[in-house]
Amino acid sequence: MITGDASYIKKINRSLIIREIVKEGMISRADLSKLTALTRATISVQVSDLLEEELVVEKQLEHNSVGRRPIMLSINAKAGYTLGIDLDAGHISFLVTDLLGNSLSSATIHVESNSYNEILSLLTQQIAEYITKYSDNRYGIVGIVIAVHGLVSSNEEIHYIPRLGWSSVSLKTDLEKAVGIQIHIENNANLSSFAESVFWHHETDSLLSLTLYSGIGLGMIINNKFYRGHDGFAGEIGHMIVAPDGRPCECGNKGCWEKYASEASVLSTLAKQKKLPHVTYEQVRDWINSEDEEVLETMEQFINYLSIGINNIINIFNPETILVDSELLRIYPDSIDKIKQKLTSKTSHYKNLLISSIGEKSTILGACALAIQYFLDVPVLNLSHNFEKSSTEPTKK
């Protein structure tokens, strides 16, 4: 039984109720009482407050049996919006969702400059426009979370973003001063793992998510919480050395894993082989389908180096589920089976090794989901996976 200050108890009870309403989608007051072990009187008072705040709505179920039709409770998805931002070198992506994670609009801006001041100005302008555009309900934009592809400290300060060349910048503070709304900053791999947990893999509380696009990041959900390490820098697994005295890395070391097993490194290698300025996934798919020997050899090297790192991760963390977010793995036949065949150590134990079902948008979906969790103030968030509802609003730069 929870004891303590009355206001604190009320807050805990409110969190329990909201969590169950979100999880179930629709639920009656009676069932809420059973699931939360709270009295019907407590449920009645709390639900009355939530209805008044327009966070919850009532729905009456249609049914054919005799008796009163049950009154069901649902989260009012239209009460507010979240804004997720994926900040990467060369482009910035934006996603707006409702309070149940349904995608409402998305846009990507291509950015040539890596200048902190220029990108800060651009973000300030875009955020202000979104706040104005989505002010048509009670709460408007309820939360903004920005994903960055680099080191973020426990107090949300950006320590280092290799591809942007940023070190020790206070993006959170600068943006909050400019737009007058709270901003959260989070590592992209952490947000990817959060999206996997929230939208898809509810059954596990031990989940690792590898993102392989511009580098290699590791997001870790342990006991339904981010594992951040001492200063918040845990998960920079891309800088694990797999080839001593190997290729130089922006971090200052040589032979880092992401120089051999990230998609950027593979696509760069293929571009050099084909004497092209850049390579697309469609081209890689065509080369694979035509059994181009040089490309197949490069892909096998990619699989080999990827397997080395995954083997190390398994031995360190003993996870239940490992998800790998990679378009190259999706287009390369039997890629996961090839990796599993290389995980031959008798000391390695894991349950699931899967390619992400969400894909590259997991980062920005995770940003929106984290904003929802902050706003609803729930310890665990389970949302249905509505990935096909986003509309695109291209913005030009």
CB-based contact 231:296 (threshold 8 Å): no
Question: 201: helix, coil or strand?
Answer: coil
How high is the pLDDT of residue 342?
92
Residue in the structure block whose two tokens are 């999206």: 195
- How long, in residues, is the chain? 397
Domains parsed from the chain with CATH numbers: 6-75 (1.10.10.10), 78-193+361-376 (3.30.420.40), 202-355 (3.30.420.40)
Pairwise CA distance, residues 379 & 229, whole Å: 20
CA geometry: angle 3, 9, 13, nearest 5 deg: 125
If phi > 0 it is left, if psi is from -120 to 50 it is alpha, else beta; for residue 89 that is beta
How distant, in Å, are the alpha carbons of 53, 90, 354 from that of 208? 36, 27, 11
CB-based contact 161:119 (threshold 8 Å): no
Residue 1, class by beta-carbon neighbours within 10 Å (0-12 exposed, 13-18 middle, 19+ buried)?
exposed
How high is the pLDDT of residue 70?
76
How high is the pLDDT of residue 4?
58
Q: Strands (DSSP E) along 154-257, which ranges? A: 158-161, 166-169, 183-187, 206-211, 217-222, 225-226
Q: Return all residues near 287 (Cβ < 8 A) that are at least 6 apart.
A: 270, 295
User: Phi and psi (nearest 5°) for 140?
Assistant: 60, -145
Query: Per residue of the chain (397 residues), what is the pLDDT tens digit?
Result: 445 588 888 899 999 999 999 988 899 999 999 999 999 999 999 999 999 999 999 987 765 555 567 789 999 999 999 999 999 989 999 999 999 999 999 999 999 999 999 999 999 999 999 999 999 899 999 999 999 988 888 889 998 888 898 999 999 999 999 999 999 999 998 999 999 989 888 777 788 999 898 889 898 888 878 887 777 667 788 899 999 999 998 888 999 999 999 999 999 999 999 999 999 999 999 999 999 999 999 999 999 999 999 999 998 888 888 999 999 999 999 999 999 999 887 777 778 899 988 888 889 999 999 999 999 999 888 886 444 433 333 333 3
Pairwise CA distance, residues 374 & 99, whole Å: 11
3-state secondary structure 335-393: HHHHHHHHCCCCCCCCCEEEECCCCCCHHHHHHHHHHHHHHHCCCCCCCCCCCCCCCEC
How high is the pLDDT of residue 1?
42
Q: Return all residues near 372 (Cβ < 8 A) that are at least 6 apart.
A: 82, 97, 99, 100, 101, 142, 143, 381, 383
Q: Strands (DSSP E) along 69-115, which ranges? A: 71-75, 81-88, 91-97, 103-110
Start-to-end C-alpha separation, the chain: 56
Instruction: Residue 251: name the closest of 156, 153, 363, 167 by CA.
Output: 167
CB-based contact 13:46 (threshold 8 Å): yes
Question: Pairing state of beta strands 91-97 and 321-325?
Answer: unpaired
How high is the pLDDT of residue 397?
34
Per DSSP, helices labelled H in 208-274 are: 258-261, 263-274
Q: Strands (DSSP E) along 98-135, which ranges? A: 103-110
* Confidence (pTM): 0.84
Pairwise CA distance, residues 25 & 56, whole Å: 11
Q: Return all residues near 33 (Cβ < 8 A) that are at least 6 apart.
A: 39, 40, 43
How high is the pLDDT of residue 63?
58
How high is the pLDDT of residue 332?
95
Instruction: Residue 90: name the closest of 264, 238, 248 by CA.
Output: 264
How high is the pLDDT of residue 62?
66
